[in-house]
C-alpha cells in the first residue's frame, strides 16, 4: 500500500491473456443472472483456448501439487481482502492504536471482516498479507495454513526489505541497503529464495504471490528512482525486471513450486509522474517482467489516505479510466485485478456527477460506494477481482507536520462503510466469494540450464564500438551473456569514462561483466595479478569477476614451478576481493586447450576455457572444433567449461557448432566468423600495403574487437535460446 497521497494517474500497458472456463458453479455465492453470464463467457473463451475447467473446490479436495487457482471468466469477479490486524478484531482501534504488522494476521481478523454483524457478510476468495523478510525469511506456512482452512487462497506479498517503513521519495538515496535490486540480481539471496520455494512447493495447494509491490511508486526501494534511473533512464526498471525474473526462476523453476500464480502489481498513482519530462522511465509497463513470468496484473487505486484539510480525493473511476486507457486492448492482456483499494474520511465533497467519472466524494463510505458500484456493476468487465485494504494506521499530516492523524479504512469502523459493502456484495451478479481451481498440467518438461555466450568484448565503447556494446545490452536481460571487458590488456592506469559508462550500463541490464587479466602462462607474479584485481574493482566496481588469460596448461612449467598452486592463489585472491563487493562472482581461466584436470578440482576456477582456436586447419595440430575430443570434461557440469571458436564462415555451420559445443559438455560458447589474430600474417601485410597504419591493421586482425554481422549474431542468440 502507498500510505501516501494518491495524486497522480497511472498509465501502462500489458500483454498476454489467460482465460479459464467455468463448468461447475454449484455452491458459489452469486445470483442466477451471474451464472448465465458465466456460462456464456465460458462458451466464448472455451472455443478458442484449450484450458481445463475451472472448478470450485474445498481445501480438503485440493490434492497437493495438482491444482492452481484460476482467474475467473469475464463477467464474474473475485472478492478478496487484506483484513488488517488489531488486538481486538471485533472492536475498532483507539485513536492511538494502529493496526498490527502486515505479516501478523490472524483468523479472527478475517472473521471480523467477513462476519455479517461486524463486517461485509461475505467470504473471500483470497486473503492478502505480507511476508516481511526483515522479520522472517521463511515461507509463512502457519498463516497460509489457516487461510487455506478458512476456504481462501493465501495471497502473499513477498516483501524483501529490512523494515516496513517506506522510503521517503524526497530523499536522494534509499534507506534500504540489504535487499537491494543489485544484490538480488547478483545472487545474494538465491539460497534463501530457493528454500522459500521448496517450502511453497511442500505447502502443495494453490498460492498467489507477488514481489515488487507497486513497482512504479518511489515509496518502495525497488522503484527506478533508487536504482540509477536518474543517470540512465531505463536502467532502474531493467534492474527490476531482472530481479523479478530471477525470483520467479528460483522459486518456480529451480524449487519447482508450480502451485504459485505470479502477480505483477503496479499503482495507479505512479511517482515520479512518468508524464513529466525526464520521468518517462517510470511508466508501469517498463517494469513488466514479461508474459513468461506473470499470470495476473494488479493495480492499487486509492482515494484520500489522510483525514486532513487539503487532501486530494481522486475518484476511483477517474484513476481506472486512466489506467485502462494506457493498458490498451484487453484482448492481449493478462487478467486484471484491483489488488488494493481504499479510502479514509476526508474533508469536503465535490458535486460533479458520478457518471462523468469525475466524482470526488471525500467521505470514505461515499467513495467506496462509488467504487463498488462501478466494479460490481461490471463497468470494467476485464477486472476479475478486487480486495479492500482493511487497515488503520497513524500518519503525520502533510499540512500540519506536528499533528498525527488516525487513518482508518476498516469496514468495521468507518461510519456507514459496512452498510455500503453489504448492499453491493449482496446485490452483485457474478460475485465469487470462493476461489476456482484448475487442474495442473503434470507433463511440464524439466528445467534445463541454457547455454551462455562468453564474449571477448575488446571493442572500444565509442562510435561503432558503442553500437556493439548496445547489442550486448539488448540481450542482457536474458542473463545469458558474459562479456570480457579489456580497456588496455587489463584495467589500464586510469578510469576510462566510456568504459565506466558501458560497464555500469551493461551490468544494470543483466550482462555479466568480467575484467581481463593476462597471466603470462604462469610467469606474471601472483602479487602483480592481485594488484590488477584490486585496480579493476576500484576503477570499475560493476564488474562481477575476471577472465584470466594465458593460463599455463601443464601442472608444472619448464622451471618446475607448481602451476596448480600458483593459480590456486590467484583465484583465491580474486574471490576474496570480489566477496567484499559481490555476493556471487565468476572466475574464468583460459588455457585455450585441454589442461590438467587438477586446475578445475584444485585451483578451482568457476569456468575453464578449454578451446580457443580457428575452425580452419592449423599448422601445429591440424584440428578443428568438430574433431576436438574432450577427455575428462564429461565428469563435470557443463557450466564449468567454455569454448571460443573462430573463423566459422557460414551461419548454418555456426548453428551446428553451438549444438556441438553443448553435446561436448560446454556450458559457455562463442562462435564468430572473424579470423584468428595473426598480426604478422598475410592479412595484415596486405592491409598495410593498402596504406593503413600498422596499428590499425593489427587491431583489425584481432577477432575479439568486433561482433559477428547482425544476421549471424541473431542466429547465434537464437541457437543458445537467448533471443527475446
Residue 356 banded pLDDT, cuts 50, 70, 90 = low
Cell numbers 508501469 correspond to 284
pLDDT of the residue at 339: 97
Cell numbers 598452486 correspond to 565
The tens digit of pLDDT for each residue in 25-69 reads: 323 332 222 332 333 323 222 222 234 689 999 988 998 889 999
β-partners of residue 515 are 485, 546
CATH architecture of 452-672+708-720: Alpha-Beta Barrel (3.20)
Residues of the chain with CATH 3.20.20.80: 21-439, 452-672+708-720
Q: Mean pLDDT lowest for which of 399-413, 419-433, 538-552, 671-685?
A: 671-685
Grid coordinates representing 227 are 536504482
The tens digit of pLDDT for each residue in 604-632 reads: 999 999 999 887 755 444 468 888 888 89
Q: Find the distance separating the first CA and the last CA of the chain, reported in whole Å.
A: 33
Query: How many C-beta neighbours within 10 Å does residue 309 have?
Result: 12
Question: Is the model's pLDDT at 116 over the cut of 60?
Answer: yes
Question: Is the model's pLDDT at 182 over the cut of 80?
Answer: yes
Preceding omega of 575 cis (within 30 degrees of 0): no
pLDDT of the residue at 74: 81
pLDDT of the residue at 101: 80
- Which of 212, 198, 286, 201 shows the shortest CA–CA distance to 244? 212
C-beta separation of 156 from 208 below 8 A: yes
Exposed e or buried b per residue across 53-89, where buried means at least 16 C-beta atoms within 10 angstroms of its C-beta = bbbbbeeeebeebebbbbbbbbbbbbbbbbbbbbeeb
- Which of 639, 556, 643, 634 shows the shortest CA–CA distance to 593? 643
Question: Is the model's pLDDT at 256 over the cut of 90?
Answer: yes
Question: Is the model's pLDDT at 16 over the cut of 50?
Answer: no
Q: Mean pLDDT lowest for which of 11-25, 517-531, 571-585?
A: 11-25
* d(C-alpha 198, C-alpha 179), whole Å: 21
C-beta separation of 313 from 260 below 8 A: no
The tens digit of pLDDT for each residue in 303-342 reads: 877 766 656 678 898 889 888 877 776 667 899 999 999 8
The CATH code belonging to domain 21-439 is 3.20.20.80
Grid coordinates representing 450 are 541454457
Residue 724 banded pLDDT, cuts 50, 70, 90 = very low
Pick the more confident residue, 285 or 569: 569
- For 509, the 3-state DSSP assignment is coil
Torsion of CA 478, 484, 485, 491, to 10 degrees: 140
With 0-12 / 13-18 / 19 or more C-beta atoms within 10 angstroms meaning exposed / middle / buried, residue 680 is exposed
Residue 21 banded pLDDT, cuts 50, 70, 90 = very low
The tens digit of pLDDT for each residue in 571-601 reads: 999 999 999 887 889 999 999 999 999 999 9
Residue 686 banded pLDDT, cuts 50, 70, 90 = low
* d(C-alpha 430, C-alpha 30), whole Å: 5
- Which of 338, 434, 334, 340 shows the shortest CA–CA distance to 380? 338
Amino acid at each position: 500500500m502507498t500510505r501516501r497521497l494518491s495524486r497522480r494517474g497511472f498509465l501502462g500497458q500489458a500483454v498476454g491473456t489467460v482465460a479459464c472456463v467455468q463448468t461447475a458453479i454449484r455452491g458459489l455465492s452469486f445470483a442466477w443472472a451471474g451464472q448465465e453470464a458465466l456460462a456464456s463467457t465460458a462458451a466464448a473463451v472455451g472455443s478458442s483456448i484449450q484450458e481445463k475447467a475451472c472448478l470450485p473446490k474445498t481445501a480438503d479436495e485440493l490434492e497437493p501439487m495438482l491444482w492452481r487457482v484460476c482467474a475467473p471468466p469475464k463477467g464474474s469477479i473475485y472478492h478478496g481482502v487484506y483484513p488488517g490486524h488489531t488486538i481486538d478484531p471485533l472492536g475498532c482501534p483507539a485513536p492511538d492504536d494502529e493496526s498490527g504488522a502486515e505479516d501478523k494476521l490472524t483468523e479472527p481478523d478475517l472473521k471480523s471482516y467477513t462476519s455479517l454483524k461486524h463486517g461485509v457478510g461475505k467470504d473471500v476468495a483470497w486473503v492478502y498479507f505480507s511476508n516481511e523478510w526483515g522479520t522472517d525469511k521463511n515461507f509463512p506456512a502457519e498463516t497460509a495454513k489457516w487461510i487455506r482452512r478458512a476456504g481462501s487462497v493465501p495471497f502473499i506479498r513477498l516483501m524483501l526489505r529490512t523494515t516496513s517503513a517506506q522510503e521517503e521519495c524526497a530523499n536522494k538515496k534509499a534507506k534500504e541497503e540489504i535487499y537491494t535490486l543489485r544484490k538480488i540480481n547478483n545472487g545474494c539471496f538465491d539460497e534463501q529464495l530457493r528454500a522459500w520455494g521448496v517450502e511453497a512447493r511442500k505447502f502443495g495447494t494453490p498460492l498467489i504471490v507477488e514481489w515488487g509491490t507497486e513497482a512504479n511508486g518511489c515509496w518502495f526501494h525497488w522503484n527506478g528512482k533508487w536504482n540509477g534511473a536518474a543517470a540512465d533512464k531505463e536502467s532502474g526498471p531493467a534492474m527490476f525486471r531482472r530481479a523479478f525474473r530471477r525470483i520467479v526462476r528460483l522459486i518456480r523453476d529451480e524449487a519447482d513450486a508450480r502451485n504459485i500464480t505470479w502477480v505483477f502489481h503496479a499503482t495507479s498513482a505512479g511517482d515520479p509522474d512518468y508524464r513529466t519530462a525526464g520521468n518517462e522511465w517510470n511508466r508501469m509497463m517498463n517494469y513488466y517482467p514479461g508474459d513468461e513470468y506473470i499470470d495476473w496484473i494488479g493495480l492499487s487505486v486509492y482515494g484520500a489516505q489522510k483525514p486532513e484539510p487539503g487532501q486530494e480525493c481522486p475518484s476511483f473511476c477517474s484513476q481506472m479510466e486512466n489506467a485502462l486507457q494506457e493498458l490498451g486492448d484487453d484482448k492481449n492482456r493478462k487478467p486484471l485485478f484491483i489488488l488494493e483499494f481504499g479510502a479514509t474520511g476526508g474533508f469536503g465533497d465535490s458535486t460533479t456527477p458520478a457518471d462523468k467519472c469525475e466524482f470526488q466524494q471525500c467521505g470514505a463510505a461515499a467513495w467506496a460506494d462509488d467504487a463498488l458500484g462501478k466494479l460490481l456493476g461490471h463497468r470494467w468487465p476485464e477486472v476479475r477481482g478486487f480486495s479492500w485494504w482493511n487497515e488503520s494506521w497513524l500518519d503525520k499530516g502533510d499540512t500540519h507536520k506536528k499533528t498525527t492523524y488516525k487513518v482508518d479504512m476498516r469496514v468495521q469502523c468507518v461510519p456507514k462503510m459496512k452498510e455500503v459493502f453489504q448492499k453491493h456484495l449482496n446485490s452483485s451478479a457474478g460475485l465469487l466469494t470462493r476461489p476456482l481451481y484448475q487442474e495442473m498440467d503434470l507433463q511440464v518438461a524439466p528445467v534445463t540450464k541454457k547455454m551462455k555466450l562468453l564474449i571477448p568484448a575488446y571493442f572500444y565503447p565509442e562510435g561503432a564500438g558503442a553500437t556493439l556494446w548496445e547489442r550486448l545490452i539488448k540481450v542482457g536481460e536474458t542473463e545469458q551473456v558474459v562479456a570480457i571487458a579489456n580497456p588496455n590488456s587489463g584495467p589500464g592506469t586510469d578510469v576510462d569514462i566510456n568504459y565506466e559508462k558501458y560497464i555500469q550500463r551493461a551490468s544494470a541490464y543483466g550482462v555479466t561483466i568480467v575484467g581481463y587479466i593476462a597471466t603470462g602462462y604462469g610467469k606474471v607474479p601472483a602479487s602483480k595479478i592481485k594488484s590488477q584485481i584490486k585496480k579493476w574493482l576500484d576503477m570499475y566496481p560493476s564488474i562481477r569477476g575476471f577472465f584470466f588469460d594465458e593460463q599455463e596448461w601443464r601442472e608444472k612449467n619448464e622451471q618446475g614451478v607448481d602451476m596448480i598452486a600458483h593459480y590456486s592463489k590467484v583465484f583465491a585472491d580474486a574471490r576474496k576481493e570480489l566477496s567484499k563487493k559481490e555476493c556471487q562472482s565468476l572466475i574464468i581461466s583460459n588455457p585455450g586447450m585441454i589442461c590438467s584436470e587438477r586446475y578445475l578440482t584444485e585451483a578451482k576456477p568457476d569456468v575453464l576455457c578449454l578451446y580457443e582456436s580457428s575452425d580452419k586447419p592449423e599448422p601445429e595440430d591440424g584440428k578443428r572444433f568438430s574433431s576436438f575430443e574432450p577427455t575428462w570434461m564429461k565428469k563435470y557440469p557443463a557450466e564449468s567449461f567454455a569454448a571460443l571458436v573462430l573463423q566459422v564462415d557460414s551461419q548454418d555451420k555456426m548453428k551446428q557448432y553451438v549444438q556441438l559445443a553443448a553435446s561436448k559438455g560446454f556450458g559457455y560458447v562463442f562462435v564468430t566468423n572473424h579470423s584468428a589474430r595473426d598480426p604478422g600474417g598475410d592479412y595484415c601485410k596486405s592491409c598495410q600495403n593498402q596504406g593503413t597504419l600498422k596499428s590499425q591493421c593489427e587491431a583489425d586482425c584481432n577477432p575479439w574487437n568486433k561482433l559477428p554481422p547482425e544476421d549471424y549474431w541473431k542466429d547465434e542468440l537464437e541457437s543458445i535460446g537467448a533471443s527475446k
